[in-house]
C-alpha cells in the first residue's frame, strides 16, 4: 500500500473516522516486518490489538439445571407409581378362591393357637405372686401386738 495512503488513513483513524475495513487495512500494514521508520510507533499498537483479539475464556461455566428439570422427573416418577399401582393392584380386588379362604382360616387358627399357648406360659410365670401371700402371713405376728394393748384397756 502506498505510504501516502497509510498516512491519510492514520489521520482519519486518530479522528475516529475510519471504517472497520480501513482499520483492517492499517492492521495488516503494521503487521509487516518493516514499516516506514517515522510510523514505527504504530506498530506495537496494532500488534497489541491483533494479539488481544485472540485471548480466550477457558474456564467452565457450572450450569445448574434446577426446577424445570426436577419437575419433569417428578412427574415421570408419579406416572410410573400410578401404573405400578394399577398393574399390581388388580389381583387384590378379586374374590379369593375357596382354597385361599381355607388356607387363610388355617393360618388364622394356627396363629390363635400360638397366642393362647403363649398366654398360658405367661400365666405360669406369674406364680411368684403366691410368695407375696406368704409374706402377708408372716406379718400376722402384728396381731400379737394387739394382746398387750387389750390388756391395758382392761
Partner 1 sequence: MTQPQIMTQTEFLHIVMPFKDKVFRLAKRLLVSREEAEDATQEVLLKLWNNKTKMSEYKNVEAFSMTMTKNFCLDKLKSKQAQNLKIVHSNYQDHNVSVQKQVELNDSLDWVGRIIEDLPEQQKMVIQLRDIEQYDYDEIAKMLDMNPTAIRVALSRARKTIREKLTNTHSYGIK
> 50 or 81, CB closer to partner 1?
50
> 5 or 24, CB closer to partner 1?
24
| Binder among 2, 4, 63, 138 for partner 1 (CB under 8 A) | 63
Site string for partner 1, 14-53 (x = CB under 8 A): xxxx--x--xx--------x---xxxxxxxxx-xxx-xxx
d(CA 74, CA 78): 6
Nearest of 86, 67, 63 to residue 75 by alpha carbon? 67
d(CA 1, CA 68): 59
Under rule CB under 8 A, which residues in 66-125 are in contact with partner 1? Answer: 68
Burial profile 73-83: b = 16 or more Cβ within 10 angstroms, e = fewer: eeeeeeeeeee
User: How many residues are present in the chain?
Assistant: 154
- Chain positions contacting partner 1, by CB under 8 A: 13-17, 20, 23-24, 33, 37-45, 47-49, 51-57, 59, 61-65, 68
Amino acid at each position: 500500500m502506498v505510504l501516502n495512503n497509510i498516512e491519510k488513513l492514520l489521520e482519519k483513524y486518530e479522528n475516529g473516522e475510519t471504517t472497520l475495513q480501513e482499520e483492517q487495512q492499517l492492521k495488516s500494514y503494521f503487521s509487516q516486518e518493516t514499516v516506514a521508520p517515522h510510523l514505527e510507533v504504530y506498530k506495537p499498537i496494532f500488534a497489541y490489538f491483533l494479539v488481544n483479539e485472540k485471548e480466550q475464556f477457558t474456564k467452565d461455566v457450572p450450569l445448574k439445571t434446577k426446577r424445570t428439570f426436577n419437575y419433569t422427573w417428578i412427574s415421570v416418577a408419579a406416572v410410573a407409581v400410578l401404573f405400578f399401582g394399577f398393574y399390581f393392584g388388580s389381583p387384590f380386588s378379586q374374590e379369593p378362591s375357596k382354597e385361599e379362604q381355607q388356607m387363610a382360616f388355617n393360618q388364622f387358627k394356627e396363629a390363635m393357637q400360638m397366642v393362647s399357648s403363649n398366654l398360658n406360659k405367661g400365666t405360669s410365670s406369674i406364680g411368684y405372686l403366691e410368695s407375696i401371700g406368704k409374706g402377708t402371713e408372716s406379718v400376722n405376728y402384728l396381731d400379737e401386738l394387739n394382746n398387750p394393748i387389750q390388756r391395758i384397756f382392761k
